[in-house]
Structure 1
Amino acid sequence: MALDLLHLQNGQEFCSFEELAEIIKKWEEVNFVTLYTRSSRSIEAARRRAPKRTFLDKLKYSEIDYACVHGGREYKSQSTQKRLCQKTFLKDCPFVIKIKTTLDGEKLYIKEIRGEHNHDLSEEIFRHMPKQRRLDSETKDEAVKLLKLRANKKLLQNHLMSTTGKTVTLKDLHNIAARNVPKFRNDFRELVEEMKSIKDSTFTAFVDEESMLKAIYFQTPEMKNIFASSPLD
């Protein structure tokens, strides 16, 4: 029987956490809903609480609550007990999916789907959520490498969106660059040698009549491909 990704149902079972996580991910994409794990209890903790029960390791959790990112918890100051003033997505959305293990400890199942969303659901909003914009480690490493080489951010943004299918904002690229600022400055000779060592790259230094460095022209093969695929008007 084919899985209806538009609808999850109370009592629906999953043979492992991996299966559950994959189905939840696909359900989010089909329904334009971003969920997060609001609370959970690991299999290890469940075994300590109920030593006579058995749980399969592949379930990973005995309980999980998935909540809409527009709901969840409000964080308050420990000293004043007042809600912290910060930019969040909270709209008090009550939607929650509660997951538990079956009595025999061999499967996970949907115990309850509670509430209706109290906000609009659209693909545009969904694609712009931070969770959906998150890049995998390999793609992020590529972006860091090109940003360090001063690649044009607009061209890099277009390149990443076309290769990943994700929404990538210039703010995302700014944050990636800020998180990867080197803690020390490289020696200039070392930097030049590093540029020259990249296979099939182009390196040209421009100096004035007094042999003072004025500019450096540098392109890696990746930068050349990005420029060729996204020509400037």
Structure 2
Amino acid sequence: MGTGISGTVGCNCGMDSESKFASYEDLKSAFEKYQKENYVQLYKRDSRTLDAVRKRITRRNFNDALKYGQISFHCIHGGRTFQSLSKGLRPNQRTFRKECQAHIRFGTSEDGQYLIVKSMNEQHIHGLSKIFPTFICHQN
């Protein structure tokens, strides 16, 4: 798998338990930098928009620039397990999923003005490569 790097991410590039982001655009730019510097690719697995959060929490004012109240990113080698519905007509299909548990979850701060890191697992169960993430297309 190219030049192997240890399974633990070295540079957190502004992504730690004390990180605050005043808008979703700030989070997005820091997140892209994090992925490039650590040779990982994460995808948006779950999210809850501010409108959905406002329905649940009515006593808090939220910053509209946040766009999301909760959002979680998971490693492309992990995520949800796929349950095939096939009848076995194409048996030799391959995947790069390895049940990796690496993720970053963001949520709103207590005052509702920032997106903050709620939980973070940087332990990848696979080798990290400088080459591999550049070949995979990003989700929008």
TMscore range, shorter length: 0.7 to 0.9
**d(CA) in 2 for partners of 1:103 and 1:125?**
38
Please, what is the CA RMSD of the aligned residues? 2.3
Go from structure 1 to structure 2 and tell me whether the alpha carbon gap of 1:78 and 1:62 turns closer, same or farther (over 3 Å shift).
farther
Kindly state the Cα deviation for residue 78 of structure 1 after the two structures are TM-superposed.
Answer: 6.6
**d(CA) in 1 for partners of 2:18 and 2:117?**
5
Structure 1 gaps of 5+ residues are 135-233
1:113 aligns with 2:117: no
Q: Which has the higher strand share?
A: 2
Go from structure 1 to structure 2 and tell me whether the alpha carbon gap of 1:43 and 1:123 turns closer, same or farther (over 3 Å shift).
same
TM-score by length of 1: 0.49
**d(CA) in 2 for partners of 1:65 and 1:85?**
31
**d(CA) in 1 for partners of 2:30 and 2:65?**
16
Q: Based on CA coordinates, which of the two structures has the bigger radius of gyration?
A: 1
- Deviation sequence 1:49-79 (CA, Å, 0-9, x none): 1122211110000111110110101122479
Paired residue secondary structure (1:130)? coil
1:32-43 correspondence runs (5 A): 32-43=39-50
Matching residue's letter, 2:11: L
**d(CA) in 2 for partners of 1:85 and 1:75?**
15
1:212 corresponds to? none
- Deviation sequence 1:195-220 (CA, Å, 0-9, x none): xxxxxxxxxxxxxxxxxxxxxxxxxx
1:20 aligns with 2:24: no
1:9 aligns with 2:16: yes
1:31 corresponds to? 38
- Deviation sequence 1:23-43 (CA, Å, 0-9, x none): 000110111100001101000
Kindly state the Cα deviation for residue 130 of structure 1 after the two structures are TM-superposed.
Answer: 2.7
Go from structure 1 to structure 2 and tell me whether the alpha carbon gap of 1:86 and 1:56 turns closer, same or farther (over 3 Å shift).
farther
Q: Which has the higher helix share?
A: 1
**d(CA) in 2 for partners of 1:115 and 1:123?**
17
1:68 corresponds to? 75
Q: Is the 8 A contact 1:11 1:111 kept in 2?
A: no
Go from structure 1 to structure 2 and tell me whether the alpha carbon gap of 1:127 and 1:115 turns closer, same or farther (over 3 Å shift).
closer
**d(CA) in 1 for partners of 2:130 and 2:122?**
21
Q: How many corresponding residue pairs?
A: 125
User: Taking CA–CA contacts closer than 8 Å with sequence separation of 6 or more, which of the two structures ends up with the larger relative contact order?
Assistant: 2
Structure 2 gaps of 5+ residues are 1-9
